[in-house]
Amino acid sequence: MQKPFAITLDIGTSLANHTGSWRTERPEYVDRLPPCNHACPAGENIQAWLYLAEEGDYEGAWRKLMEDNPMPGVMGRVCYHPCESACNRGQLDEAVGIHAIERFLGRTAWEQGWKPDPPAGPSGKTVLVVGAGPSGLSAAYHLTRMGHAVTIREAGPMAGGMMRFGIPKYRLPRDVLDYEIQRILDMGVTLELDTKVENIEAAFETENFDAVFVAVGAHLAKRIDIPAHAAGRILDAVSVLKDLETGVEPPQLGRRVIIYGGGNTAMDMARTAKRLGAEEAMIVYRRSRNEMPAHDFEATEAEDEGVLIHWLRTIKEIDESTFTVEKMEVDENGRPQPTGEFETLEADTLVLALGQNVDTTFMETIPGVKIAKDGVIDVDETLMTGYPGLFAGGDMVPAERTVTVAVGHGKKVARSIDAYMKGERYAPPEKHGLATFEAINDWYYTDADKTVQPALDLIRRQTTFDEILGGLDETTALFEARRCLSCGNCFECDNCYGVCPDNAVIKLGAGKRFKFNYDFCKGCGLCAAECPCGAIEMTPETI
């Protein structure tokens, strides 16, 4: 064809002009680790199940959740939700109420009778789990899913461990606990109650278990020496809370009760004492509110219910019902120091809530097993003790003592045991980089305040063990799920597709996300700047 002067190209579309060659930086889609997932001790993929819940796919969300945690109903109630403390939305208005949605999914699964995905085919391997607490139950669930045959041996008369014997009913109704435990057992787990395991080596040698996971918790109440001329009743909180579950008669605490300690157990004990009819339930704690191990909301809830907290006091002497307490001061290291000033309190019963120790006597003689500092079992990063095939987790090992940590140990140990039985060593996959608040373009998120869960009237809180917090209904749960920012993970808002001046983003259709057309992308970075959730990263081009 005859071309006009100085024209070298044919007439046609500009698609022949590949502007991608201008680029010095290229956008790339990334998945970053959302802070909620990062903070979850049970390793839940919270963002992923919220994504499904946002669509109203509650079963899908529940199944995603169940990949990591077999007890959403329990966890939605008792977990201290570090996910919400880490939630980026907290810097915008208020954190997403993850626990409330988890609880909603737990209840919906119950109402709908959803069953866990069927286990993998039988592996022929057998595992003994010692202790039917959150850690043992979680391990049994995950191992069963992997196709291993699991037997749980529990020394007590009921499964649940501290979920039953440590957490009062007003925070965790027992029907929820029973249902979620039974669902795990229904998968084919053998539970032997009232069976105390004394000889672990025999489980390997005589019974031929391929691996053993010990998770008996920490049940020995710490004691303290207090000079007493004529002591009144002194009890420990762990025993009282346990008796409440197993005993026929509720424990008699008297009219005035002092609880000694500042942890969550002390708060639960004081609130339980109120509900058992104590006129005065007082907490005596040696440090101030700032240093207490209990969560602040628990102290607030206890105070709301009429519990009186004497901060900065230690008990020096007991004479029948008269308690001499010394005022303390907190020094710059956060340690309490005596002041030499004294006062007296009147009470009928003293309940100690000073923490718990692990009973390690049945483990100490096993070759290779080491006791770590603070009297807990020493384990490696796969939770295996020095004895090959023997694993330990939950409150028995060095870690924060919460139900969620225990459930996380159960999952982790299941993976470790699975690898061990294959002659391998479990290595966790590499994690994505963290999705920080700075990576979020908060302009695009509309204002939406956190949904408030209904709470029981104060008078009923003081007198009954009814659950305090109500659940969310479907509409409010959906609203709450949709408050998720989806940090670091594409949620298909079409922004990148829309804002590209060069039409260089290809929309792949619902659920398939997008891809870049690098033939035309000039690398302006608008897509990355306008991505609400920080799922696009600009990286320098290499030539």
Question: Which CB sits closer to other proteins, 51 or 141?
Answer: 51
Cβ-count burial of 327 within 10 angstroms (0-12 exposed, 13-18 middle, 19+ buried)? middle
Cα–Cα dist 14/6, whole Å: 18
Q: Applying CB under 8 A, does 517 fall inside the site for other proteins?
A: yes
Q: Applying CB under 8 A, does 446 fall inside the site for other proteins?
A: yes
Question: Which CB sits closer to other proteins, 15 or 230?
Answer: 15
Kindly state the smallest distance separating residue 442's Cβ from other proteins, in Å.
10
Contacts of 20 (CB under 8 A, 6+ apart): 504, 517, 518, 519, 520, 521, 522
Q: Of 434, 507, 518, 537, which one interacts with other proteins (CB under 8 A)?
A: 507
Kindly state the smallest distance separating residue 60's Cβ from other proteins, in Å.
14
Question: Which CB sits closer to other proteins, 365 or 539?
Answer: 539
Q: Of 121, 423, 501, 543, which one interacts with other proteins (CB under 8 A)?
A: 501
Kindly state the smallest distance separating residue 478's Cβ from other proteins, in Å.
10
Question: Which CB sits closer to other proteins, 122 or 498?
Answer: 498
Cα–Cα dist 184/74, whole Å: 13
Kindly state the smallest distance separating residue 524's Cβ from other proteins, in Å.
4
Q: Applying CB under 8 A, does 19 fall inside the site for other proteins?
A: yes
Q: Are 150 and 129 a contacting pair, CB within 8 Å?
A: yes
Kindly state the smallest distance separating residue 517's Cβ from other proteins, in Å.
7
Cβ-count burial of 224 within 10 angstroms (0-12 exposed, 13-18 middle, 19+ buried)? exposed
Contacts of 198 (CB under 8 A, 6+ apart): 362
Q: Of 49, 165, 204, 445, which one interacts with other proteins (CB under 8 A)?
A: 445
Task: Give long-range contacts, CB 8 A cutoff, 24+ apart: 379-387.
Answer: 382/412, 382/413, 382/416, 382/419, 382/420, 382/425, 382/426, 383/409, 383/412, 383/413, 383/416, 384/416, 384/420
Q: Applying CB under 8 A, does 11 fall inside the site for other proteins?
A: yes
Q: Applying CB under 8 A, does 144 fall inside the site for other proteins?
A: no
Kindly state the smallest distance separating residue 53's Cβ from other proteins, in Å.
11
Q: Of 471, 495, 516, 534, which one interacts with other proteins (CB under 8 A)?
A: 495
Q: Applying CB under 8 A, does 99 fall inside the site for other proteins?
A: no
Q: Applying CB under 8 A, does 437 fall inside the site for other proteins?
A: no
Q: Are 254 and 348 a contacting pair, CB within 8 Å?
A: yes
Kindly state the smallest distance separating residue 495's Cβ from other proteins, in Å.
5
Q: Are 85 and 95 a contacting pair, CB within 8 Å?
A: yes
Q: Of 21, 28, 31, 55, which one interacts with other proteins (CB under 8 A)?
A: 55
Q: Applying CB under 8 A, does 503 fall inside the site for other proteins?
A: yes
Q: Of 17, 195, 337, 344, which one interacts with other proteins (CB under 8 A)?
A: 17
Task: Report CA-CA distances (Å) from 537 to 21, 27, 83, 297, 322.
Answer: 19, 5, 24, 39, 67
Q: Applying CB under 8 A, does 100 fall inside the site for other proteins?
A: no
Q: Applying CB under 8 A, does 54 fall inside the site for other proteins?
A: yes
Question: Segment near other proteins (CB under 8 A), from 74-82, 253-261, 338-346, 523-531?
Answer: 523-531
Lookup: tokens for 499: 């804002």
Kindly state the smallest distance separating residue 19's Cβ from other proteins, in Å.
6
Cα–Cα dist 36/45, whole Å: 8
What end-to-end distance do the CA atoms of the chain give, in Å? 36
- Angle, CA 85 vertex, CA 470 and CA 400 arms, to 5°: 95
Question: Which CB sits closer to other proteins, 474 or 519?
Answer: 519
Question: Which CB sits closer to other proteins, 462 or 517?
Answer: 517
Q: Of 90, 502, 518, 537, which one interacts with other proteins (CB under 8 A)?
A: 502
Cα–Cα dist 518/501, whole Å: 13
Question: Which CB sits closer to other proteins, 317 or 492?
Answer: 492
Q: How many residues contact other proteins, by CB under 8 A? A: 55
Would you give the DSSP letter of residue 432? P
Binders of other proteins among 451-490, rule CB under 8 A?
Answer: 482-486
Q: Of 118, 157, 340, 509, which one interacts with other proteins (CB under 8 A)?
A: 509
Q: Applying CB under 8 A, does 493 fall inside the site for other proteins?
A: yes
Cα–Cα dist 526/512, whole Å: 21
Kindly state the smallest distance separating residue 63's Cβ from other proteins, in Å.
20
Q: Applying CB under 8 A, does 444 fall inside the site for other proteins?
A: yes
Residue 25: left (phi > 0), alpha (psi -120 to 50), or beta? Answer: beta
Kindly state the smallest distance separating residue 48's Cβ from other proteins, in Å.
15
> What are the start-end ranges of the H helices in 24-97?
35-39, 46-54, 58-66, 72-78, 82-86
| Residue recorded with tokens 């649940």 | 160
- Interface residues with other proteins (CB under 8 A) are 7, 9-19, 22, 54-55, 443-446, 448, 482-486, 491-495, 497-504, 507, 509-511, 517, 519-520, 522-526, 528-530, 532, 538
